Amino acid sequence: MTDLAMQEQMVVMFETVILADSEISSNLFFGGSGSSQRRNAAQRGADLQYSMTVEFEEAIFGTEKEFEIRRIESCGHCRGSKSEPGSDIAICTACNGEGQVRRAQQSVFGQVVQVTDCHICRGDGKVINTRCTRCRGQGRERKNRKLAVVVPPGIEEDTQIRLTGEGEHGTNGGPPGDLYVAFKISEHDYFVRDGVNIRCQLTINIVQASLGATVPVPTLEGQYELDIPSGTQNGNVFRLRGLGVAQLRGNRRGDQLVILSVHIPKKLTIEQKKLLEDLGETLPTVDLSEGMDGKGFFGKFKSAFGE
């Protein structure tokens, strides 16, 4: 076989490949039919996110909250048909309802078929004589919608709950998207959350700390009488079991931690000073030079520097 014959055979084989896969070639070289096919196909609606602030107690015990969002829905007037109710919708004669037209073009490689959107129906495959007056032929509109979400007990900051099907509506009969509700929790004036526990600070005076007392402690479920033993020190922590936060996934409930703060008054009356002076004379003197191990504070201090 001569070189010229081999070249002619290769050209014929290449043209055959182009003709056998003309739509793929048109996608590569001319933009193809993907846009019109996607326009006519059912498409899922977009997902939405909504940020909701709940009170501290609502996050602890759970609640149900109503809220309002603005989303895209099918037009309530034309029900997504894009046509004014009662008007006729005709099949596009230019594309026979396909929404696409094919044009064959001759190139140096052979015949290539180009697929484009129909310029009459713009890829819809139908011709609307009278477009919907509300949505102007879009088939969708923005609406305010009231919804409700159940906030489970023990919800945490930035936790998201998915409301299936409450996102924006789909097109061409496609399913709606989902709505994700993200939670922000307001700070409390008295309590601080620590995982499944709740922390709070309780201030007592030096007499209550020294002699002991029964003092009221606020909790999320009402007032609790806390017995403080004599000799309680500043910073001691008391645990109220079962008065904390319910586990989001579980049956256990945390505790309330009460941190005591002993208040030292900055100003005293003459009588109060006299009482404390009399009390001070009866108390043993604290000797920093002695310790339980006989070495004392200053001895340990010197040992730390190798003395």
* Tens of pLDDT, residues 143-197: 999 999 999 999 999 899 999 999 999 887 789 999 999 999 999 999 999 989 9
The answer to whether residues 259 and 201 belong to one domain is yes
Q: Domain ends where: 160, 187, 214?
A: 187
The answer to whether residues 148 and 255 belong to one domain is no
Average pLDDT over residues 107-134: 79
- Domain membership of residue 233 (yes or no) is yes
Give the type of residue at 165. G
Q: In angstroms, rounded to a whole number, what is the distance separating the alpha carbons of residues 57 and 22? A: 66
- Domain membership of residue 216 (yes or no) is yes
The answer to whether residues 55 and 148 belong to one domain is yes
Q: What is the pLDDT of residue 303?
A: 52
Q: Domain ends where: 187, 207, 226?
A: 187
pTM: 0.66
First to last CA, the chain: 106
Q: Domain ends where: 150, 171, 187?
A: 187
The answer to whether residues 72 and 145 belong to one domain is yes
The answer to whether residues 82 and 205 belong to one domain is no
* Tens of pLDDT, residues 201-255: 999 999 999 999 999 999 999 999 999 999 999 999 999 999 999 888 777 889 9
The answer to whether residues 140 and 203 belong to one domain is no
- Domain membership of residue 9 (yes or no) is no
* Tens of pLDDT, residues 5-35: 454 444 444 443 333 343 434 344 444 444 4
The answer to whether residues 183 and 68 belong to one domain is yes
The answer to whether residues 236 and 139 belong to one domain is no
Bridge partners, residue 149, by sequence: 65
Q: What range does the domain containing 222 cover? A: 192-264
- Domain membership of residue 226 (yes or no) is yes
30 or 107, which is more confident: 107
The answer to whether residues 135 and 259 belong to one domain is no
Q: What is the pLDDT of residue 4?
A: 45
Number of domains composing the chain: 2
Q: Sign of torsion, CA 82 84 85 90?
A: negative
Q: What would the 3-class secondary structure string for the chain be?
A: CCHHHHHHHHHHHHHHHHHHCHHHHHHHHHCCCHHHHHHHCCECCCCEEEEEEECHHHHHHCEEEEEEEEEEEECCCCCCCCECCCCCEEECCCCCCCCEEEEEEEECCEEEEEEEECCCCCCCCEEECCECCCCCCCCEEEEEEEEEEEECCCCCCCCEEEECCCCCCCECCCCCCCEEEEEEECCCCCCEEECCEEEEEEEEEHHHHHHCEEEEEEECCEEEEEEECCCCCCCCEEEECCCCCECCCCCCECCEEEEEEEECCCCCCHHHHHHHHHHHHHCCCCCCCCCCCCCHHHHHHHHHCCC
- Domain membership of residue 66 (yes or no) is yes
Q: What is the pLDDT of residue 90?
A: 83
pLDDT at 282 over 70: yes
The answer to whether residues 203 and 177 belong to one domain is no
Q: Give the position of tokens 């002993």.
A: 262
The answer to whether residues 179 and 60 belong to one domain is yes
pLDDT at 134 over 70: yes
CB 216 within 8 A of CB 264: no
The answer to whether residues 72 and 140 belong to one domain is yes
**What is the domain-level CATH number for residue 239?**
2.60.260.20
